[in-house]
Amino acid sequence: DADVTQTPRNRITKTGKRIMLECSQTKGHDRMYWYRQDPGLGLRLIYYSFDVKDINKGEISDGYSVSRQAQAKFSLSLESAIPNQTALYFCATSDSTKQGIMHFGAGTRLSVL
């Protein structure tokens, strides 16, 4: 089983719909992140959380919200999806004691029509 699990793996939705992407981890890491990948732009940080009570905006948080339901769960919501949110979304984790290594989920491919 994967250490960082994202669901769904692929999703097609319509403009204006609310959608939630979920992430869970079994690595016991305290830090969790949501990134968005677009061709030619690399990975850009949406939100990050260093523990359950800590939520921080990244560089492109507009139009997104997150919830850290437990140390192991970090979900990303698009309240009203728009076409330019079509992208590949990654959840990632890291451990503050493990020298900076980031562990990624398999990604969610989201298409907003």
Partner 1 sequence: AQTVTQSQPEMSVQEAETVTLSCTYDTSESDYYLFWYKQPPSRQMILVIRQEAYKQQNATENRFSVNFQKAAKSFSLKISDSQLGDAAMYFCAYTQTSGTYKYIFGTGTRLKVLA
C-alpha 55/C-alpha 57 separation (Å) is 7
Considering the complex, state which of residue 40 and residue 84 has its C-beta at the smaller distance from partner 1.
40
C-alpha 47/C-alpha 66 separation (Å) is 7
* Binding mask of the shown chain, residues 46 to 85, with x at each position contacting partner 1 by CB under 8 A: --x-x-----x-x---------------------------
* Max Cα distance, the chain (Å): 42
Amino acid at 76: L
# binding residues, partner 1 (CB under 8 A): 26
Check residue 96 for interaction with partner 1 (CB under 8 A).
Answer: yes
Check residue 34 for interaction with partner 1 (CB under 8 A).
Answer: no
Which listed residue (43, 52, 55, 60) binds partner 1 by CB under 8 A? 43
Stretch that binds partner 1, among 16-24, 64-72, 75-83, 94-102 (CB under 8 A): 94-102
Peptide bond into 8 cis (omega under 30): yes
Q: Is-contact 15 85, C-beta < 8 A?
A: no
Strands 64-70 and 54-57: unpaired
Residues near partner 1 (CB under 8 A): 31, 33, 35, 40-45, 48, 50, 56, 58, 88, 90, 92, 94, 96, 99-102, 104, 106-107, 109
